[in-house]
Structure 1
Amino acid sequence: MPHPKARAAALHASPEDCEAQFYDALRDGDLERVMAVWADDDEIVCVHPGGTRVVGPQAVRAAFESVFAGGHIAVHPEHVKQVHAMGCAVHSVLERIDVVTVDGPQTGWIVATNVYLKTSQGWRMVAHHASPGAPDEIPEIIDLPSVLH
């Protein structure tokens, strides 16, 4: 059962609002705010880089608890490409991850797809699928509109 506080979140007026809260919560290591962006649906899906598919609110919560066991995540969404249609939005995101190693600051890239659905509680995430990018991948910068449809 999802934590009751997670469902008391503000209504998100747009998928972009929902996405902003998701990434802010990841950077803050705030599990309740991360879970507040998810739809209240047994079929929500999350795949972390190199991980297995987890389905349902309890499994998604457990996956993020595991991630936060190491602290917050210095993740920054960049080069977002969006497709919106009839109450559904799909965002392709390059996630820049900043870490400090023994060799100094390093930047890595994760390729993610976030899917949002317009619900009676506002826009909510229904899927987050993240895959590792190439170690030295530099995102392609092309002047295309961020909303494709």
Structure 2
Amino acid sequence: MEMPRKAFFATPQEAEAAFYEARARGDIEAMMAVWGDEDDIICALAGCPRASGYEEVRDAWRRVFAGTRVDVRVINAQIMQGVLQSIHSLNEQCSAAGDRASRPLLIVTNVYLRGPLGWHMVLHHASAAPAAQETAGPPKILH
């Protein structure tokens, strides 16, 4: 499979915004343009097996986009950024039309690397948070 043309993201925050925009639209090409094309990229979606490598990650998102459309709100972002790597720890509050009960808050780690084509995602890991979890606060950026 041919890899999509990579977008240039000047900052990891631009890459993260593009990641959540692609997710909201269910746009697989835009989603994969955010990801690095290295064989060692990893995506571990909550309740799903770990996907490793470009093709597995693409297939994992294809399955997500084929399901029920889910709205995602990012809260409690903490960013640890260096010259070549940025680690984003955050929570995702997910909801879908017709939900009778609230979905569990997700604890998420997104990792971005800087390369010749700007910043791209190399890891997305999400897991269900324990029942009592903070849900507010401004983003914290650590350098």
TM over 0.5: yes
Hey, what's the Cα distance between the residues in 1 that align with 2:115 and 2:126? 23
Q: CA deviation at 1:32?
A: 0.7
Alignment match, 1:38:
35
- 1:31-83 deviations in whole A, cap 9, x for unaligned? 11111100110000010102221110000000011111114331121211000
Hey, what's the Cα distance between the residues in 2 that align with 1:49 and 1:75? 13
The within-5 A match list for 1:63-78 is: 63-78=60-75
TM-score w.r.t. length of structure 2 = 0.89
Equivalent residues of 2:75, 2:137 under 8 A apart = no
The within-5 A match list for 1:91-110 is: 91-101=88-98, 103=100, 106=102, 108-110=104-106
The within-5 A match list for 1:45-124 is: 45-101=42-98, 103=100, 106=102, 108-124=104-120
Q: CA deviation at 1:137?
A: 4.5
| Alignment equivalent of 1:139, drawn from 126, 134, 139 | 134
Hey, what's the Cα distance between the residues in 2 that align with 1:86 and 1:56? 24
> Which residue identity lines up with residue 41 of structure 2 in the other structure?
I
Any unmatched runs of 5+ in structure 1? none
Question: Where in structure 1 do 4 or more consecutive aligned residues deviate above 4 Å?
Answer: none
Any unmatched runs of 5+ in structure 2? none
Alignment match, 1:125:
121
For residues 98 and 124 of structure 1, do their structure 2 counterparts lie closer, same or farther at Cα, with a shift above 3 Å needed? Answer: same
Identity over aligned pairs, percent: 35
Hey, what's the Cα distance between the residues in 1 that align with 2:30 and 2:134? 28
Q: Match of 2:88, SS?
A: strand
Hey, what's the Cα distance between the residues in 1 that align with 2:124 and 2:82? 18
TM-score w.r.t. length of structure 1 = 0.86
Equivalent residues of 2:75, 2:135 under 8 A apart = no
How many residues matched?
A: 143
**Aligned Cα root-mean-square deviation (Å):** 2.0
